[in-house]
Amino acid sequence: MYDTILVPTDGSEHAVRAAEHGLYLARAFDATVHVVNVVDVQAAAGPFGAGGVDEEYIRRLEAEGERAIETVEAVVEATDAVETAVVRGRPSEAILDYVDEHGVDLVAMGTHGRTGVERYVAGSVTERVVRLAEVPVLTVRAVERSRVGDGYDEVLVPTDGSEAAAAAVEHAVAVAARTGARLHAVNVVDVGRFAAGPDYNPSLELMRYLEDAGETATDRVAERARDAGVDAVTAVREGTPARELLDYADENDVDLVAMATAGRTGLSRYLLGSTTERVVRHAEVPVLAVDAGEDDESTEE
């Protein structure tokens, strides 16, 4: 599934942590790792740099980029399948172009980075890559919970039974199979979607219908996982989707969350981009955001 993994870096601890996860998955899938630094010449010129910056200054920026790459190379030196590059351009665009030009299958990025010229791993750029990349993007924060440690033991995948959710399920099952992890298939019944007012309570009949649908969706994922030789458990919860998913991850010592960047429209659309973005921003564990291949304006909430 993953033959080429891209790790954009500015040398920050967040990028290094992302590189650790990228290397872990590269070993699991026998993939090549590309470590790339982007020199944003336009940002370096500043708001008054209409005339641009001279080549000497750009070379200094590129030397800084090489040093940032060396910081990550210390993490991935255990494998021979590593390629490095310093490229020029607007950060998110350069990363996306590199993905296309080199047949990248997975991008592993830190969700925060340095301020200043090389801030391309900052949240806004990472979120833009998550939104626009046609390949999965693994986002990682440099916190205690995100350490690779002994690898992945628990992988969480939200599902509503839609084709969009299935895109993430495919990747979650593949990662769990390669790493020996258990899969958690979770459905969140978002009652707030039905609220006509603060005092509204859905009927018992409606709740049973939603819970039954959630159980059906999670059972299908669990069956698929078990067919692939992966141990699986299921859960149906009620509440605000992003919050419930984050709480579940904490309560069950989840090592990785895999979720689609789009989902069903209508009543069970908790996999929409806005929820994925909230999870990406707040999860202390890595989040694998998988493009669901839907071009729906509702995903841009």
Of the CA atoms within 13 Å of residue 193, those in its CB half-sphere come to 19
User: Which domains does the chain show, CATH number per domain?
Assistant: 4-146 (3.40.50.620), 154-300 (3.40.50.620)
- According to the model, what pLDDT value does residue 198 have? 57
User: 């890559």: which residue's tokens?
Assistant: 129
- According to the model, what pLDDT value does residue 45 have? 58
Q: Average pLDDT of each block of 10 consecutive residues along the chain (301 residues)?
A: 94 91 95 91 58 74 85 72 89 95 96 47 71 93 92 96 90 98 95 62 82 95 98 95 95 96 45 70 93 52 34
- According to the model, what pLDDT value does residue 116 have? 37
CA distance 170 to 215: 19
Q: Where are the beta strands (DSSP E) in the chain?
A: 4-8, 32-39, 82-88, 106-110, 137-140, 154-158, 182-189, 232-238, 256-260, 287-290
- According to the model, what pLDDT value does residue 117 have? 34
- Let me know: does 130 contact 108? Beta carbons within 8 Å: no
CA-wise closest residue to 159 among 250, 299, 292:
292
Task: Phi first, then psi: give them for residue 112, nearest 5 degrees.
Answer: -145, 155
- Let me know: does 18 contact 45? Beta carbons within 8 Å: no
Q: Quote the pTM value.
A: 0.85
Helix (H, G, I), strand (E, B) or coil at 41: helix
Q: In 3-state terms, the chain is what percent helix, strand and coil (to 5)?
A: 45, 20, 35
